[in-house]
Structure formats: C-alpha cells, structure tokens
Structure 1
Amino acid sequence: MSQQRIIGWDVGGANLKAVLTNEQGHVLNAKQVYCPLWRGLNELDSAIDAILLEMQAESHSVTMTGELADIFTDRHSGVLAIAQTMQRKLSAINSEVQLKFFAGNKGFVALDSVASVTSDIASMNWLASMQYLAQKSHEAIFIDIGSTTTDIALLNDSKPHVLGFTDAARMQFDELVYTGVVRTPLMALAQKIPFAGQVVNVAAEHFATTADVYTLTGELAPEDNMADTADGADKSVASSARRIARMVGWDAHDAPLSAWIELANAFKHAQLNLVRQAVLTKLSSQQNTEATLQLIGAGAGEFLTASLAQQLGVPYSSVSDFISAESGLIKNMAKVCFPAFAVASLGLSR
C-alpha cells in the first residue's frame, strides 16, 4: 500500500520553498525557487509549476510571508490572493487536493476560512518552525537567517516564548530583524566600515548586497544565491568585488582582491553584530538566561548563527539535526526551507 505524501510550502516574497515528506516525516525532496513576487502573481504561478515538475503529493500545507509584497494593497488581500493562487494551481493537478493553510495558534484552516483569519496566517512561518522544534527541544534560541530577514525566537519549557505575533511587534521586540545573507543592501548594515586601515564612510546607494559579501567570503552556496544582483550583472567573485568596491567609493582595480575579501569580512561582522545585539536583547529580558543559551540555526545564513554561537561560547545545533532525509543534499535544502519542512510535519498530525 502506498504511503500518503505531503508537501509543505513556504510562500515568500522572494523565494518559494517546498519540502516533500512521507507519512513518517522523512524528507523525500526539497526545493527552493526564486519567486520575485513584487513583479506579479504570475511569478508565483511559474514557481509553483517548477516545484510540481519535481514533486507530487496528495496533501499540501501552506505558510507564507509573501503577502508583504508591494503588489498587494495590504496583508489581508495578499494572504487571500496567495491562498487562492495555491488552490487554483494545485486543484488543476488534482481536483480532490487536500490543501490547508497554517494560521498560527489557530492551527490549520481550509481555503473557505482563510478570509476570516488572514491576520493569523500572515507571516507566521517562524511559528510553524517553533511549534515543530517544541516537539524536539526543551530550551533554545531559534535563529533562522534567510535571504532577506532573520527570525529570532525563544523556546522555554518546550513552548515558544515570544513577545510579538505581528511583523510590527516582532520588529519592535527584536524578534524579526530585516537582515539576510542575499538581498540586504550593504548600506543597511553600517554607515561606516573599517577598510585599508581606516574607518571609511559607506555609500547610501544600492551598489551591492550581502550576496556579494558571502560570495567573496565563500560562505554562500550558489543554490542559495538566487536574487538579482544590485547592478544586474553576473554573480562571479570579480563582479562581487566590483560591486562591493563601489560601497566605499573605489573601483575594484584600485586594490587587490584580498582587500575586497577583507572588506567583505568587515561587512559580515557588521551584520553578525546586528543579529548578536538582537539576541542579547532577548536574553537580557529573561530572568533565567542560562537555560536558553543554546542556539539552533536554520536558513541559508545558518553559518552566521554558528559563528555567533562560537562568539558567545554557547552550544550550537543545526535544524538539520532534527531532519530525516533521503540524502545529505536533500537534508541541507530542507534546512534552508525549514518553515516548509515544519509546516509539512505539523500538517501530518493535524
């Protein structure tokens, strides 16, 4: 008898992520597709098609952050549009598709209930991750560093312990930090940066992004570097050096490549400090910080969380430790797509 399979979907504003699991939660496939939703819903249509070429399932669970895309007038209309698109695309493949949407603490809802709970569905992918981890870990700080944003959440007594459930509140309480390892403009990391033995000013221009930083440091996997570059040119080391040089008013040929790698590391440390300060803010608000001093990292920027744990001298675990998969390659992609994996796993038991 064949096993039922489920696909967990995480519909972001820049990437569509999907993870296919069997009834035991074992990952059979995982995939991330570039989906610049700000260009129109047709981008989501195409991204879904790309996923469905590689994986099929009888059941689907969806979480999202793409409702923030500026093609939508507000989050409510964004959630509805994304939900309706998912229903239309998946039902075209299977008219009896089982499709449900993650509504945070309200659990999963069908399409006909989405309109009444859009505020519970909007940008709740981090909570899906936390609810899954709560089944696996007792005390931890979960840090998911993606292409655009960083989620930071405390897990106390096997329960999410957070102050905010909306983007506005989570940003206020340092639980959502708008910094990521691909799309973040370097001007958002620092106004001044050490370079060539001096502290220099950073141009307030969209000359380069964090993808250039981690291309130069060698820490960004090519399959995670999906967004367009700042100048529309290629993603080579030479082009990344050219772009990062502009941030301090230089041309790449004005200094050796080693100088631009050094500058990239300076921007890395600036970004790491943003995350570190947010984590320390969360820790300072806890009466008993020792119990939570384990970091669990996820996302394309997990390497930054590992560096932070080393800086703080605390234990570190990857979410991949909690994932069973067909291969190391699939497990690594499931780690990058962790909210999609989490919502698939939660969907199996709901």
Structure 2
Amino acid sequence: MGWDIGGAHVKAVLLDKRGSVEQFQQRACPLWLGLDHLETAMTAVLNGFNITSSQVLHAVTMTGELVDLFENRHEGVLEISTFVDQLLKKNVRYYCMSDEGDAPYFISIADVEKSTGVIASANWHASASLLAQQLPSALLVDIGSTTTDIIIINDGKVVSGPLTDAERMQQDTLVYTGVVRTPVMAVAQKLIFDKVETNVAAEYFATMADVYRLTQELPEAVDMAETADGEPKTILASARRLARMVGYDMESKPLESWQQLAQDCRRKQCDQIQLAMTKHLKQGMTVVGTGAGVFLVEAIAQTMQTPYVSVASALRHHESLGVCFSSYAVARLAYARGAV
C-alpha cells in the first residue's frame, strides 16, 4: 500500500499481490491543525479499503513536514514518520530520494532521523522514478491543489538536480501554484474585467478553485478544500467570491462577466506554469501531465505545440488515478524492490 502524506491531503493506493491497483483514495487532511487530523484521514482510508493496517505492508512518502505545525522540516519528518509507524503497526518503509542516476531506496523508522533530508518532500521524485521506467525522455508536470512539480526525465533517469524545496523553487522545478488552494491574489495582481485592466485585491477572498468552478473544469473529486468565506462550492458562490477580488458585488454584473474574469485568471496561471515549463522542455520530450490540474497541463502543452500524454494513459490506468499518482508510484517502486 502506498501513501503520500501531504499538508492538505492524504493519498493512498492499495495494490494486490500481483502489484495491480485494487483501490485508491484521496482524503482531505488539514495537517497544520494537528496530527489528530492525520489519524482521522488515514483511518478513514483504511476503513474505506475495508482493511486493517496489519493486513498490508506500507510504503510512505510525504510533503506534510512543511506545515507550520512543526518547527522545521527535520522535526516534521520525524514526527510524521513516528506517528505513522505507530498507527500502521510498524509495517512501514519510507521513500528516500537518491542522487542523479542512483536508484531511490526505502528505509525503516530506525533510520529516519539521519535521513530526513531525502525523505522530505520526495513525492515528486517517486512519481518521476516510476514514469522513467516507461518513458525515457519526458517532462513530467504535476499540477496539484497547491503546487506544480516539473521534473525532467532523460535517458530513462530522473534528472533530479536540486532536491530541496528551496532549491527547486529557485530553479522553477517547484512552482507554488495549484488549481484548488492557491489564493487568486497569488496568481494575478492585475486582471482584465469588462475590457479594463483592474488591480486585484490583496485579500483572501477567492481561490483558484473558484476560478475552475466557473470555467467548469475542476473535478468534484479533487475539490476538497474549504472556500475562502466558508460558503458553498456552487458556481454562484464562486462568482461572488471572485467578484470581491476586483471590488464588485456579484449581483452588479451577469454571470458571464465573472466567467470571463475567471478565464483571464486561468490565463495568468497558465502563463506562469508555461514559463517554468519552457525553461526545462527540450526537443523530443513528451509532456506528461498528472495531478488535480492535469486538464491545465494538456492545455498548456497544446499552446506550446508539444507532444502530450497523461500519466494515466502512459501507464495504461484510469485517468482518475492521476490524482493519486505519487502514492501509486511509491507503492509500485516498493513492490518491485521487495522493499516492504
């Protein structure tokens, strides 16, 4: 069983004895509010799979160590892994990134304290390592609810380069923008509304989930975060929140106006991601899309006129598995290595 423990979601994939996907789930998990939320989410996953933790062997990757519940990433990895090990009855191995060209590996809880640097935020590496076994040359683009990972695969190997979040942010291989939780104010400071350029309020009035509800592109299954005002996730409520970003009441304009504003915000986010992709895309590479925002990856690839395939198609799985690809990847890698 593979787990990806994030700061806002827990993703899990259960494999059968042949290594094929049996079930997969994503659960909301506001980890910054406490480890009890992690327990709730993981227990719900196990109950949803109708198994106990001792019935299966577990492979774990994580990004949740970054939340401000923890003093630093080292402590975050230690606390999460200790908690997970106890919850899953010690049938656990933790995914570790490797230097470029070397194979990733798995360790037990006994070795975690000295390895937190290669455990922290390693889910992107697991995804790319599995994909590299199928596609020798690719640019993997994983647009999630909060961030976008851009990973180069060359000659069947992950071109990992910098491994830490800080270094990856500097290199534009980690772009802090996603299709659900990202505030609109983080995507655009100016937008075109009614053919006039207008400033955007520096307020947490709306998120990109509002934008993609208005464009009708956001799958309900990934729309798990709370709204900015605590109100429903309807198109009209989303329009009301987006209207506040440009100083209007929703009722002052027709719905089509707010949908057009959402389209301009969408363009801003696509431009940001495309700029980062352009820095890393080489001739002959196929863009491979995954994540909650896989629909954006395909659209950007079309704009760039570059070959595109979804990760689910590349690996011949159902498209909905793409949201849980990192947990599938860590499960498959562990299964192949007999790591657990």
TM over 0.5: yes
Q: Give the Cα separation in 2 of the matches to 1:215 and 1:267.
A: 12
RMSD of aligned alpha carbons: 1.1
TM-score, normalised relative to structure 1: 0.92
Specify the SS of the correspondent of 1:117.
helix
Specify the SS of the correspondent of 1:116.
helix
Matches within 5 A, 1:102-251: 102-105=95-98, 106-251=104-249
Query: Relative contact order (alpha carbons < 8 A, sep ≥ 6): 1 or 2 greater?
Result: 1
**1:259 corresponding residue in structure 2:** 257
Q: How many residues align?
A: 328
Q: Give the Cα separation in 1 of the matches to 2:251 and 2:270.
A: 28
Answer yes or no: is 1:342 the counterpart of 2:335. Answer: no
Deviation at 1:24, TM superposition (A): 3.1
**2:19 corresponding residue in structure 1:** 25
Note the residue ranges of structure 1 that are not aligned, 5 or more in a row: 1-6, 92-96, 284-288, 326-330
Matches within 5 A, 1:1-150: 7-55=1-49, 56=51, 57-91=55-89, 98-105=91-98, 106-150=104-148
Q: Give the Cα separation in 2 of the matches to 1:313 and 1:25.
A: 35
Q: Give the Cα separation in 2 of the matches to 1:31 and 1:274.
A: 30
Deviation at 1:188, TM superposition (A): 0.6
| Residue pair 2:313, 2:319 contacting (<8 A) in 1 also | no
Deviation at 1:77, TM superposition (A): 0.8
| Residue pair 2:85, 2:91 contacting (<8 A) in 1 also | no
| Residue pair 1:146, 1:300 contacting (<8 A) in 2 also | yes
Q: Give the Cα separation in 1 of the matches to 2:137 and 2:316.
A: 21
Q: Give the Cα separation in 2 of the matches to 1:166 and 1:23.
A: 34
Q: Give the Cα separation in 2 of the matches to 1:35 and 1:144.
A: 20
Specify the SS of the correspondent of 1:53.
helix
Deviation at 1:133, TM superposition (A): 0.5
Q: Give the Cα separation in 2 of the matches to 1:83 and 1:136.
A: 30
Deviation at 1:160, TM superposition (A): 1.1
Equivalent position amino acid for 1:184 in 2: T
Specify the SS of the correspondent of 1:262.
helix
Deviation at 1:158, TM superposition (A): 0.7
**1:94 corresponding residue in structure 2:** none
Moved over 6 A (4+): none
Q: Give the Cα separation in 2 of the matches to 1:323 and 1:40.
A: 36
Deviation at 1:324, TM superposition (A): 5.1
Q: 1:103 to 1:162 in 2, by over 3 A?
A: closer
Q: Give the Cα separation in 1 of the matches to 2:193 and 2:154.
A: 41
Equivalent position amino acid for 1:103 in 2: C
Deviation at 1:291, TM superposition (A): 2.2
Specify the SS of the correspondent of 1:44.
helix
Q: Deviations over 1:92-130 (max 9, x none)?
A: xxxxx5310001115100011111100100001000001
Specify the SS of the correspondent of 2:17.
coil
Note the residue ranges of structure 2 that are not aligned, 5 or more in a row: 99-103
Equivalent position amino acid for 2:322 in 1: K
TM-score, normalised relative to structure 2: 0.94
Answer yes or no: is 1:300 the counterpart of 2:298. Answer: no
| Residue pair 1:25, 1:324 contacting (<8 A) in 2 also | no
| Residue pair 1:27, 1:323 contacting (<8 A) in 2 also | no
Q: Give the Cα separation in 2 of the matches to 1:334 and 1:104.
A: 23
Matches within 5 A, 1:309-348: 309-323=301-315, 331-348=318-335
